[in-house]
Structure 1
Amino acid sequence: MAKENKVRLALANNLKEELNKRRMTVADLAKALGISDSTVRSWANAEKYPRIEKIQQLADFFHITRLELISSKPDNVVPITKTVKIPLLGEIACGDPILAEENIEEYIDEPVNYLPSGKCFYLKAKDNSMKPTIPDGSKVLIRQQPDVDDNEIAAVLIVETNEATLKRVKRSNKTMFLMPDNPEYTPIIVGKDNPARILGKAIRYTSDL
Structure 2
Amino acid sequence: MDIRKYTSTKIKEYRKQRGLTQKELGDLVGVKHNTISGYENGTNEPEQDILFKIASALHISINELFPETKSSFQINKNFISNNGINFSKRVGVQIPILGSVIAGTPISAIEDILGYEEITPELASTGTFFCLKVKGNSMEPRLFEDDIIVVKQQPDIESGDVAVVLVNGDEATVKQIKKADNGITLIGYNVAVYPPTFYSNEAIINLPVTIIGKVIELRRPF
Give TM-score scaled by structure 1 length: 0.55
Contact preservation (8 Å) 2:159, 2:177: yes
Q: Counterpart of 1:153 in structure 2: which amino acid? A: V
Higher Cα Rg, which structure = 2
Relative to 1, partners in 2 of residues 1:195 and 1:80: Cα closer, same or farther, differing over 3 Å? farther
Across the aligned residues of Structure 1 and Structure 2, the Cα RMSD in angstroms comes to 2.3
Deviation at 1:181, TM superposition (A): 1.5
Question: Which residue of structure 2 lines up, in the alignment, with residue 207 of structure 1?
Answer: 220
Deviation at 1:113, TM superposition (A): 5.7
Q: What is the number of equivalent residue pairs in this alignment?
A: 130
Deviation at 1:168, TM superposition (A): 0.5
1:170 aligns with 2:197: no
- Write the distance in 1 (CA, Å) between the matches of 2:125 and 2:146: 22
From 141, 146, 171, the counterpart of 2:155 = 146
- Write the distance in 1 (CA, Å) between the matches of 2:182 and 2:100: 28
Give TM-score scaled by structure 2 length: 0.52
After the TM superposition, which segments of 4 or more aligned residues of structure 1 sit over 6 Å from their partners?
none
Contact preservation (8 Å) 1:81, 1:113: no
- Write the distance in 1 (CA, Å) between the matches of 2:120 and 2:169: 35
Q: Counterpart of 2:141 in structure 1: which amino acid? A: P
Question: Which residue of structure 2 lines up, in the alignment, with residue 74 of structure 1?
Answer: none
Question: Which residue of structure 2 lines up, in the alignment, with residue 25 of structure 1?
Answer: none
Relative contact order, higher structure (CA 8 A, sep 6+) = 1
Relative to 1, partners in 2 of residues 1:80 and 1:132: Cα closer, same or farther, differing over 3 Å? farther
From 178, 188, 208, the counterpart of 1:195 = 208
Question: Which residue of structure 2 lines up, in the alignment, with residue 118 of structure 1?
Answer: 127
Contact preservation (8 Å) 2:93, 2:124: no
Structure 2 residue matching 1:99: 3-state secondary structure: helix
Deviation at 1:147, TM superposition (A): 0.4
Relative to 1, partners in 2 of residues 1:133 and 1:100: Cα closer, same or farther, differing over 3 Å? same
- Any idea what the Cα deviations from partners look like across 1:21-54, whole Å, max 9, x if unmatched? xxxxxxxxxxxxxxxxxxxxxxxxxxxxxxxxxx
Deviation at 1:118, TM superposition (A): 1.0
Deviation at 1:193, TM superposition (A): 5.8
Relative to 1, partners in 2 of residues 1:196 and 1:80: Cα closer, same or farther, differing over 3 Å? farther
Q: Counterpart of 1:174 in structure 2: which amino acid? A: N
Work out the percentage of aligned pairs sharing the same amino acid.
Answer: 32
- Write the distance in 2 (CA, Å) between the matches of 1:145 and 1:99: 14
Structure 2 residue matching 1:102: 3-state secondary structure: coil
Gaps of 5+ in 2: 1-87
Contact preservation (8 Å) 2:138, 2:188: yes
